[in-house]
Amino acid sequence: MSQSNKQILLETRPLGLPKSTNFKFVQTDAPQPGAGELLLKTLYLSLDPSVRGRMNEGKSYIEPIAIGEVLAGATVSQVIQSDHPDFSVDDFVLSENGWQEYAVSDGTGLRKLDPRKQPVSQALGVTGVPGLAAYVGMLDIGKPQSGDTVVVSSAAGAVGSIAGQIAKLQGCRVIGIAGTPTKCDHVVNKLGFDDCINYKSDGFLSQLANACPDGVDVYFENVGGRVLEAVCGHLNTGARVPLCGGIAYYNLTELPPGPDRVPLLMRSLLVNRVLMQGFIVQDHLDREAAFLDDMTAWMENGDIVYHEDRVEGLQNAPEAFKGMLMGRNLGKHIVRVALEPGKTQI
């Protein structure tokens, strides 16, 4: 008898923040692997802000998700059938199953995970795409020098939390920016940043100025909006701005009202000879081996603290995804889709 496969499809394209009507829950038969293929069972699903962009139509660095298609997402899976010489039943792999319980793979792009070395779910965060984005953005573009002042936005999130800790390891003074007092407390007292400022508080601008008396040498940009505008006023000559994301804009349905701030941004970039460079992690896979070596050593030494925010059950993925876009997550947000063998609780 064939296995059933719960899936979540893109039903309609969201206008603004996604709603439940944008998602469709279906149950089909699990796919059957063919010659040379594997059947993967999803254990953990990564929730990523970039999926919001892919729910829209239009040209980007990656194709949009089609209407009726399974929502995209990195997954940690267990191999449950294999006709592939490199993978055995019960292997754990980093895969791209998307928002569904089962998927077939021909093995392309899979990374084997060893549960004896680290919890397998970490491959969706600190040793996965968010960690690599933090590593490449901070080290290769930000080029932090000992003594630099580094500011990181969305500092309590998956990428920002790692980017700031990497800058600390380079001997920098690191200031986080996050959206609640609880997050700021976590960033300073658990992650070891020097300071963290709540961008929603009344005193945000003056607190930022006080926290950066020598200006800002590296601004790791995850959000845009008023946080970018505020930090721009403090950029030092020769500052570097790795442009990782702009989550403040992902749900916009039209350009924000108010005065045009582009002249201020342009002036700051020009007179301070700032390097602002967008990057997409998939272009930097040549750095993955060095990243994994460094990150593994940092984790073993306790130099990097990693926090996961888990939600239970695939059916809760849409609400959790929406919550992440609104700032409800602390650290890397993932969904536990099925129990790992031998585990009984979150």
Ligand X SMILES: NC(=O)c1ccc[n+]([C@@H]2O[C@H](COP(=O)([O-])OP(=O)(O)OC[C@H]3O[C@@H](n4cnc5c(N)ncnc54)[C@H](OP(=O)(O)O)[C@@H]3O)[C@@H](O)[C@H]2O)c1
Q: Which residues of the shown chain bind ligand X in the complex (CB under 6 A)?
A: 48-50, 129-130, 133, 154, 156-160, 178-180, 183, 222-223, 225, 227, 244-248, 279-281, 324, 327, 329
Of 66 and 326, nearer to ligand X (C-beta) is 326
**How near is the Cβ of 180 to ligand X at its closest, in Å?**
6
Residue from 107, 96, 161 nearest 332 by CA: 161
| Closer CB to ligand X, 252 or 271, in the complex | 252
Q: Which is nearer to ligand X, 160 or 318 (CB)?
A: 160
CB of 296 to ligand X, least distance (A): 20
Closer Cβ to ligand X, 225 or 233, answer by number: 225
In whole angstroms, how close is the CB of 283 to ligand X at the nearest point? 8
Nearer to ligand X, 78 or 222 (CB): 222
Closest approach, Cβ 222 to ligand X, in A, equals: 4
Taking the complex as a whole, how short is the minimal distance between the CB of residue 320 and ligand X, in angstroms?
11
- The smaller minimum CB distance to ligand X, of residues 77 and 154, is found at 154
> Shortest Cβ distance from residue 233 to ligand X (Å)?
17
Nearer to ligand X, 212 or 324 (CB): 324
CB nearer to ligand X: pick between 54 and 84: 54
Q: How far apart are CA 253 and CA 177, in angstroms?
A: 25
Residues 6+ apart with CB under 8 A from 220: 134, 137, 138, 142, 150, 151, 152, 153, 160, 163, 164, 167, 241, 242, 244
Q: How far is the CB of 213 from ligand X (least distance, A)?
A: 24
In whole angstroms, the minimum distance from the beta carbon of 339 to ligand X comes to 24
